[in-house]
Amino acid sequence: MNHVHVESLPSDDALAAAAATMWLDAVAAATAAGRDFTVAVSGGRVMRKFFAAAATLAAARRVNFSRVHFFWADERCVPPDDVASNFRLAQEELLQPAGIPGANIHRVRGELGPAQAAQAAAAEMRRVCGAAGEAMPALDLVLLGMGEDGHVASLFPGNADTAADLASVFLPVRDAPKPPPARVTLGHGPLAAARAVWVLACGPGKQAALRESLAATGTTPLARVIQRRAATTIFTDLAGEASPGLEPPPDLV
């Protein structure tokens, strides 16, 4: 059964703070247990707020990030210092302020182009996660935003190839409907295999997409992620989206 837990918050700031707090709790628990913690982050407005909240809270709590490894759920095929780069956003808002060691940052090298960047990113994720051969790496957490059309990462509606691909770790995207068209995205396989997936869904015009994604017969990219997982958590400020019949997923920590 596909369990979905909806965390309903009053605003995007409250959403970002709640998700950041829960994530830092999970990082602290992993560190106390003596194990690494692998996380894939995304870009976008709400992720900027998440990064800022996490950086502030981490400084106050003196969080130890030495065993946290950062990956990306998707990246645009631009240089890392480009304003459109998801890496640049994370670097400026979280990685640099928190003093994340360079060896723990595993960015998607979008400047190589979609195919080469996807291949290199998949090899790096398999290496760090200890997934030998063609095994699917299992991240501890994937953080996703959601678009007005229900897209997550750079998995967009209407793309039958990415929707059906469960074998690829990263996929090249050459015709994204939003600029820039050339991108690299985490595939449905690692999204299904991740220990936890949290979706930060907020902002105007997204109620219909979220409702469709939560439906048992939903066809959005987010719906496909939910349908292939045992548990998914949605953080949202979209009033009325919490459903009393939904059950919480297993604890991340």
pLDDT band, very low/low/confident/very high, at 137 (cuts 50, 70, 90): very high
Q: Classify residue 186: in a domain, yes or no.
A: yes
Output the pLDDT for position 245.
38
Token pair listed for 134 = 């063609």
| Composition of the chain by helix, strand, coil, percent to 5 | 40, 20, 45
Token pair listed for 68 = 């946290």
The answer to whether residue 239 scores a pLDDT higher than 90 is no
Q: Classify residue 8: in a domain, yes or no.
A: yes
Output the pLDDT for position 242.
47
Output the pLDDT for position 204.
86
Q: Classify residue 51: in a domain, yes or no.
A: yes
The answer to whether residue 1 scores a pLDDT higher than 60 is no
Contact 73, 41 (CB under 8 A): yes
**Residue ranges making up the domain that contains 47:** 3-136+148-197
Burial (0-12, 13-18, 19+ Cβ within 10 Å), 173: buried
Q: Classify residue 208: in a domain, yes or no.
A: no
Output the pLDDT for position 252.
57
Token pair listed for 125 = 């994720």
The answer to whether residue 32 scores a pLDDT higher than 60 is yes
Local structure of residue 136 (DSSP, 8 states):
P
Q: Classify residue 209: in a domain, yes or no.
A: no
Instruction: Name every residue whose Cβ is closer than 8 Å to that of residue 34 and which is 6 or more positions away in sequence.
Output: none
DSSP H helical ranges for the chain: 12-32, 45-61, 86-90, 114-129, 160-164, 188-193, 207-214, 221-227
From the list 116, 136, 137, 162, the residue with the least C-alpha distance to 39 is 137
The answer to whether residue 240 scores a pLDDT higher than 70 is no
From the list 155, 153, 152, the residue with the least C-alpha distance to 164 is 155
Looking at every residue in the chain, the average pLDDT score rounds to: 93
Tens of pLDDT, residues 177-212: 999 999 999 999 999 999 999 999 998 899 999 999
d(CA 230, CA 3): 6
From the list 158, 160, 193, the residue with the least C-alpha distance to 38 is 193
Output the pLDDT for position 221.
97
The answer to whether residue 243 scores a pLDDT higher than 70 is no
Q: Classify residue 69: in a domain, yes or no.
A: yes
Q: Give the total number of structural domains in the chain.
A: 1
Tens of pLDDT, residues 58-87: 999 999 999 999 999 999 999 999 999 999
Tens of pLDDT, residues 43-61: 999 999 999 999 999 999 9
Output the pLDDT for position 134.
85
pLDDT band, very low/low/confident/very high, at 161 (cuts 50, 70, 90): confident
The answer to whether residue 241 scores a pLDDT higher than 80 is no
Q: Work out the percent of the chain whose per-residue pLDDT is above 90.
A: 88
Q: Classify residue 124: in a domain, yes or no.
A: yes
pLDDT band, very low/low/confident/very high, at 244 (cuts 50, 70, 90): very low
Region class of 205: left (phi > 0), else alpha (psi between -120 and 50), else beta: left
Looking up residue 178, the CATH number of its domain turns out to be 3.40.50.1360
Q: Classify residue 68: in a domain, yes or no.
A: yes
